[in-house]
Structure 1
Amino acid sequence: MDVTIRALSAAETLPVRMPVLRPGRPLESAIFDGDDEPTTIHIGACAANEVVGVVSLMKTPMVEQIDQLAYQLRGMATQPEWRGKGIGRDLLQACVAAMVEVDADLIWCNARSHVVQFYQAAGYQAIGAPFHIADVGQHQKMFLALP
Protein backbone atom coordinates (compact mmCIF):
# COMPACT_ATOMS: atom_id res chain seq x y z
CA MET A 1 0.00 0.00 0.00
CA ASP A 2 1.25 3.47 -0.86
CA VAL A 3 2.17 5.81 1.97
CA THR A 4 2.02 9.57 1.52
CA ILE A 5 3.89 12.06 3.71
CA ARG A 6 1.96 15.29 4.30
CA ALA A 7 1.42 18.16 6.72
CA LEU A 8 -1.03 17.48 9.56
CA SER A 9 -2.87 19.49 12.17
CA ALA A 10 -2.03 18.91 15.84
CA ALA A 11 -5.36 17.11 16.30
CA GLU A 12 -4.54 14.67 13.49
CA THR A 13 -1.45 13.46 15.41
CA LEU A 14 -3.44 12.32 18.44
CA PRO A 15 -4.87 9.01 17.11
CA VAL A 16 -1.26 7.82 16.69
CA ARG A 17 0.38 9.59 19.64
CA MET A 18 -2.17 8.27 22.15
CA PRO A 19 -1.89 4.50 21.67
CA VAL A 20 1.82 4.48 20.80
CA LEU A 21 3.32 7.04 23.19
CA ARG A 22 0.74 7.38 25.97
CA PRO A 23 -1.17 4.07 26.20
CA GLY A 24 -3.67 3.95 29.03
CA ARG A 25 -3.18 7.60 29.90
CA PRO A 26 -5.60 10.50 29.49
CA LEU A 27 -5.89 12.27 26.12
CA GLU A 28 -4.33 15.42 27.61
CA SER A 29 -1.04 13.53 28.07
CA ALA A 30 -0.66 13.35 24.27
CA ILE A 31 -1.25 17.08 23.77
CA PHE A 32 2.07 18.90 23.96
CA ASP A 33 2.83 22.47 24.94
CA GLY A 34 3.51 24.24 21.67
CA ASP A 35 1.31 21.99 19.50
CA ASP A 36 -0.73 24.97 18.33
CA GLU A 37 2.10 27.49 17.95
CA PRO A 38 2.27 28.96 14.44
CA THR A 39 5.91 27.84 14.11
CA THR A 40 5.12 24.20 14.98
CA ILE A 41 5.13 21.73 12.10
CA HIS A 42 3.24 18.43 12.22
CA ILE A 43 3.99 15.77 9.62
CA GLY A 44 2.21 12.50 9.02
CA ALA A 45 2.50 9.32 7.04
CA CYS A 46 -0.87 8.39 5.58
CA ALA A 47 -2.10 5.17 4.00
CA ALA A 48 -5.59 4.96 2.53
CA ASN A 49 -6.56 8.21 4.28
CA GLU A 50 -5.46 6.87 7.67
CA VAL A 51 -2.63 8.50 9.60
CA VAL A 52 -0.19 5.70 10.45
CA GLY A 53 2.88 7.69 11.55
CA VAL A 54 3.44 11.15 13.01
CA VAL A 55 6.13 13.58 14.08
CA SER A 56 6.07 17.18 15.30
CA LEU A 57 8.74 19.86 15.12
CA MET A 58 8.64 22.70 17.64
CA LYS A 59 10.81 25.80 17.49
CA THR A 60 12.74 25.30 20.73
CA PRO A 61 16.37 26.23 21.41
CA MET A 62 18.76 23.46 22.37
CA VAL A 63 20.55 24.63 25.53
CA GLU A 64 23.92 23.37 24.29
CA GLN A 65 23.57 25.35 21.03
CA ILE A 66 21.53 28.37 22.16
CA ASP A 67 22.80 30.61 19.36
CA GLN A 68 21.42 28.38 16.59
CA LEU A 69 17.89 28.15 15.17
CA ALA A 70 16.73 24.80 16.50
CA TYR A 71 13.55 22.75 16.33
CA GLN A 72 12.76 19.97 18.76
CA LEU A 73 11.45 16.76 17.24
CA ARG A 74 8.63 15.46 19.44
CA GLY A 75 5.93 12.85 19.39
CA MET A 76 7.44 10.61 16.72
CA ALA A 77 5.31 7.49 16.53
CA THR A 78 4.29 4.80 14.05
CA GLN A 79 1.37 2.43 14.49
CA PRO A 80 2.79 -1.03 15.38
CA GLU A 81 1.48 -2.77 12.26
CA TRP A 82 3.28 -0.20 10.07
CA ARG A 83 6.72 -0.46 11.69
CA GLY A 84 9.63 -1.80 9.68
CA LYS A 85 8.30 -0.36 6.41
CA GLY A 86 10.52 2.75 6.28
CA ILE A 87 7.88 5.15 7.59
CA GLY A 88 10.09 6.47 10.41
CA ARG A 89 12.94 7.06 7.98
CA ASP A 90 10.57 8.86 5.59
CA LEU A 91 9.26 11.04 8.41
CA LEU A 92 12.80 11.99 9.45
CA GLN A 93 13.60 12.92 5.83
CA ALA A 94 10.46 15.08 5.74
CA CYS A 95 11.64 16.77 8.95
CA VAL A 96 14.95 17.70 7.33
CA ALA A 97 13.14 19.06 4.27
CA ALA A 98 10.83 21.14 6.50
CA MET A 99 13.81 22.51 8.42
CA VAL A 100 15.59 23.51 5.22
CA GLU A 101 12.44 25.52 4.34
CA VAL A 102 12.66 27.51 7.61
CA ASP A 103 16.48 27.77 7.43
CA ALA A 104 16.98 25.94 10.76
CA ASP A 105 20.46 25.01 11.96
CA LEU A 106 19.60 21.81 13.78
CA ILE A 107 16.95 19.35 14.91
CA TRP A 108 17.16 17.86 18.39
CA CYS A 109 15.15 15.36 20.37
CA ASN A 110 14.94 13.43 23.59
CA ALA A 111 14.99 9.92 22.12
CA ARG A 112 13.65 6.98 24.04
CA SER A 113 16.53 4.61 24.77
CA HIS A 114 15.20 1.80 22.55
CA VAL A 115 15.29 4.04 19.43
CA VAL A 116 18.71 5.67 19.87
CA GLN A 117 20.22 3.44 17.15
CA PHE A 118 17.41 4.41 14.76
CA TYR A 119 18.31 8.09 15.16
CA GLN A 120 22.03 7.36 14.94
CA ALA A 121 21.45 5.58 11.62
CA ALA A 122 19.81 8.80 10.39
CA GLY A 123 22.87 10.85 11.37
CA TYR A 124 21.81 12.10 14.81
CA GLN A 125 24.49 12.38 17.49
CA ALA A 126 24.02 11.74 21.20
CA ILE A 127 24.86 14.55 23.57
CA GLY A 128 25.19 14.28 27.34
CA ALA A 129 24.30 11.37 29.56
CA PRO A 130 21.10 9.32 29.31
CA PHE A 131 18.32 10.54 31.62
CA HIS A 132 14.94 9.44 32.91
CA ILE A 133 11.61 11.17 32.24
CA ALA A 134 8.98 10.28 34.86
CA ASP A 135 6.13 8.10 33.54
CA VAL A 136 7.86 7.79 30.15
CA GLY A 137 11.25 6.15 30.66
CA GLN A 138 14.95 6.38 29.80
CA HIS A 139 15.99 8.94 27.15
CA GLN A 140 19.04 10.27 25.36
CA LYS A 141 19.32 13.81 24.02
CA MET A 142 20.30 13.72 20.34
CA PHE A 143 20.75 16.25 17.56
CA LEU A 144 21.24 16.54 13.83
CA ALA A 145 23.19 19.49 12.43
CA LEU A 146 21.61 20.65 9.17
CA PRO A 147 23.58 21.66 6.07
Structure 2
Amino acid sequence: MKIQIKEISYYDTWSIRHQVMWPDKNINYIKLTNDDEGKHFGLFVGKKLVSVISLFTKQRKTQFRKFATLSEEQGKGYGAQLLNYIFSIIEKSPVQVLWCNARKDKTSFYKTFGFIETDQKFHKGGIEYIIMKVNL
Protein backbone atom coordinates (compact mmCIF):
# COMPACT_ATOMS: atom_id res chain seq x y z
CA MET A 1 0.00 0.00 0.00
CA LYS A 2 1.14 3.49 -0.83
CA ILE A 3 1.87 5.77 2.14
CA GLN A 4 1.27 9.48 1.71
CA ILE A 5 1.57 12.38 4.16
CA LYS A 6 -0.21 15.61 3.38
CA GLU A 7 -1.75 18.67 4.96
CA ILE A 8 -5.40 18.14 5.88
CA SER A 9 -8.17 20.25 7.37
CA TYR A 10 -8.56 20.38 11.13
CA TYR A 11 -11.96 18.74 11.03
CA ASP A 12 -10.43 15.73 9.25
CA THR A 13 -8.38 15.08 12.42
CA TRP A 14 -11.37 14.88 14.73
CA SER A 15 -12.44 11.28 14.12
CA ILE A 16 -9.00 9.80 14.85
CA ARG A 17 -8.43 12.13 17.81
CA HIS A 18 -11.74 11.01 19.27
CA GLN A 19 -11.30 7.27 18.62
CA VAL A 20 -7.75 7.12 19.96
CA MET A 21 -7.42 9.76 22.64
CA TRP A 22 -10.78 10.22 24.33
CA PRO A 23 -13.31 7.68 23.01
CA ASP A 24 -15.35 7.87 26.22
CA LYS A 25 -15.85 11.65 25.92
CA ASN A 26 -18.10 13.70 23.68
CA ILE A 27 -16.36 14.49 20.37
CA ASN A 28 -16.31 18.19 21.32
CA TYR A 29 -13.73 17.25 23.99
CA ILE A 30 -11.06 16.71 21.30
CA LYS A 31 -11.73 19.91 19.39
CA LEU A 32 -9.33 22.77 20.07
CA THR A 33 -10.57 26.35 20.21
CA ASN A 34 -7.68 27.36 17.95
CA ASP A 35 -7.84 24.40 15.56
CA ASP A 36 -8.42 26.82 12.70
CA GLU A 37 -5.05 28.49 13.45
CA GLY A 38 -2.96 25.32 13.18
CA LYS A 39 -1.51 23.24 10.40
CA HIS A 40 -2.78 19.70 10.37
CA PHE A 41 -1.21 16.69 8.72
CA GLY A 42 -2.36 13.18 8.05
CA LEU A 43 -0.67 9.95 7.08
CA PHE A 44 -2.66 7.87 4.64
CA VAL A 45 -2.22 4.20 3.87
CA GLY A 46 -3.82 3.93 0.48
CA LYS A 47 -6.87 6.14 0.88
CA LYS A 48 -7.28 5.44 4.62
CA LEU A 49 -6.28 8.18 7.07
CA VAL A 50 -4.47 6.38 9.90
CA SER A 51 -2.44 9.01 11.78
CA VAL A 52 -2.85 12.74 12.47
CA ILE A 53 -0.90 15.58 14.06
CA SER A 54 -1.59 19.29 14.53
CA LEU A 55 1.04 22.06 14.68
CA PHE A 56 0.73 25.44 16.36
CA THR A 57 3.54 27.97 16.01
CA LYS A 58 4.13 31.10 18.10
CA GLN A 59 7.26 33.09 17.49
CA ARG A 60 9.98 30.46 17.03
CA LYS A 61 8.35 27.65 18.97
CA THR A 62 6.05 25.01 17.53
CA GLN A 63 3.84 22.80 19.65
CA PHE A 64 2.39 19.66 18.19
CA ARG A 65 -0.90 18.51 19.63
CA LYS A 66 -3.40 15.73 19.20
CA PHE A 67 -0.89 13.31 17.67
CA ALA A 68 -2.78 10.05 17.23
CA THR A 69 -2.66 6.84 15.21
CA LEU A 70 -5.60 4.46 14.90
CA SER A 71 -5.24 1.70 17.48
CA GLU A 72 -5.25 -1.08 14.90
CA GLU A 73 -2.46 0.69 12.97
CA GLN A 74 -0.15 1.37 15.94
CA GLY A 75 3.23 -0.34 16.07
CA LYS A 76 3.69 -0.20 12.28
CA GLY A 77 5.89 2.89 12.25
CA TYR A 78 3.27 5.30 10.91
CA GLY A 79 3.52 7.69 13.84
CA ALA A 80 7.31 7.76 13.50
CA GLN A 81 7.00 8.50 9.78
CA LEU A 82 4.58 11.34 10.47
CA LEU A 83 6.78 12.84 13.18
CA ASN A 84 9.85 12.59 10.93
CA TYR A 85 7.88 14.43 8.25
CA ILE A 86 7.10 17.19 10.76
CA PHE A 87 10.80 17.47 11.58
CA SER A 88 11.57 17.89 7.86
CA ILE A 89 9.07 20.75 7.65
CA ILE A 90 10.30 22.43 10.84
CA GLU A 91 13.96 22.22 9.76
CA LYS A 92 13.15 24.48 6.80
CA SER A 93 11.55 27.11 9.03
CA PRO A 94 12.84 29.62 11.60
CA VAL A 95 11.41 27.48 14.43
CA GLN A 96 13.96 26.83 17.18
CA VAL A 97 11.97 24.58 19.57
CA LEU A 98 9.49 21.79 18.95
CA TRP A 99 7.50 20.73 22.00
CA CYS A 100 4.51 18.71 23.14
CA ASN A 101 2.45 17.65 26.11
CA ALA A 102 3.37 13.96 26.18
CA ARG A 103 1.34 11.35 27.97
CA LYS A 104 3.69 9.92 30.58
CA ASP A 105 3.40 6.42 29.11
CA LYS A 106 4.56 7.73 25.69
CA THR A 107 7.69 9.62 26.76
CA SER A 108 10.07 6.85 25.64
CA PHE A 109 8.72 7.17 22.08
CA TYR A 110 9.52 10.90 22.01
CA LYS A 111 12.96 10.37 23.53
CA THR A 112 13.93 8.34 20.45
CA PHE A 113 13.45 11.57 18.46
CA GLY A 114 15.67 13.62 20.77
CA PHE A 115 12.94 15.11 22.97
CA ILE A 116 13.82 15.71 26.60
CA GLU A 117 11.48 15.86 29.55
CA THR A 118 11.06 19.20 31.24
CA ASP A 119 10.11 19.56 34.90
CA GLN A 120 6.63 20.73 33.86
CA LYS A 121 3.90 18.16 34.50
CA PHE A 122 0.14 18.24 34.74
CA HIS A 123 -2.92 15.99 34.83
CA LYS A 124 -5.94 16.08 32.54
CA GLY A 125 -8.76 13.58 32.48
CA GLY A 126 -6.91 11.32 34.91
CA ILE A 127 -3.80 11.14 32.70
CA GLU A 128 -0.38 12.49 33.62
CA TYR A 129 1.39 14.62 31.02
CA ILE A 130 4.99 15.78 30.83
CA ILE A 131 6.04 18.69 28.64
CA MET A 132 8.83 17.53 26.34
CA LYS A 133 10.90 19.56 23.91
CA VAL A 134 13.69 19.38 21.41
CA ASN A 135 15.87 22.31 20.45
CA LEU A 136 16.46 22.60 16.72
Q: Quick check: TM above 0.5? A: yes
Q: Secondary structure at the match of 2:13?
A: helix
Please tell me whether residue 43 in structure 1 is matched to residue 41 in structure 2.
yes
Please tell me whether residue 105 in structure 1 is matched to residue 96 in structure 2.
yes
Q: Percent identity, aligned pairs only?
A: 29
Paired residue for 1:65? none
Please tell me whether residue 117 in structure 1 is matched to residue 108 in structure 2.
yes
Please tell me whether residue 11 in structure 1 is matched to residue 11 in structure 2.
yes
Runs of 4+ in 1 over 3 A off after TM superposition: none
Separation in structure 1 between the aligned mates of residue 78 and residue 121 of structure 2, nearest angstrom: 26
Aligned residue pairs, count: 136
Alignment of 1:20-59 (within 5 A): 20-37=20-37, 40-59=38-57
Where structure 2 has 5 or more consecutive residues not aligned to the other structure, the ranges are: none
**Residues 114-141 of structure 1: CA deviation (Å, up to 9, x unaligned):** 10000001110111153312x1511111
Whether contact under 8 Å (1:53, 1:77) holds in the other structure is yes
Q: Secondary structure at the match of 1:23?
A: coil
Q: TM-score, structure 1 length as denominator?
A: 0.86
Paired residue for 1:141? 131
- Structure in which a larger fraction of residues adopt strand: 2
Q: Secondary structure at the match of 2:80?
A: helix
Deviation (angstroms), 1:85: 1.0
Whether contact under 8 Å (1:43, 1:94) holds in the other structure is no
Q: CA RMSD in A?
A: 1.4
Q: Secondary structure at the match of 1:141?
A: strand
Separation in structure 1 between the aligned mates of residue 129 and residue 33 of structure 2, nearest angstrom: 19
Deviation (angstroms), 1:80: 1.0
Deviation (angstroms), 1:48: 2.1
Residues 1:79 and 1:136: Cα distance change in structure 2 (over 3 Å): farther
Deviation (angstroms), 1:95: 1.3
Separation in structure 2 between the aligned mates of residue 28 and residue 130 of structure 1, nearest angstrom: 24
Deviation (angstroms), 1:96: 1.2
Separation in structure 1 between the aligned mates of residue 126 and residue 43 of structure 2, nearest angstrom: 24
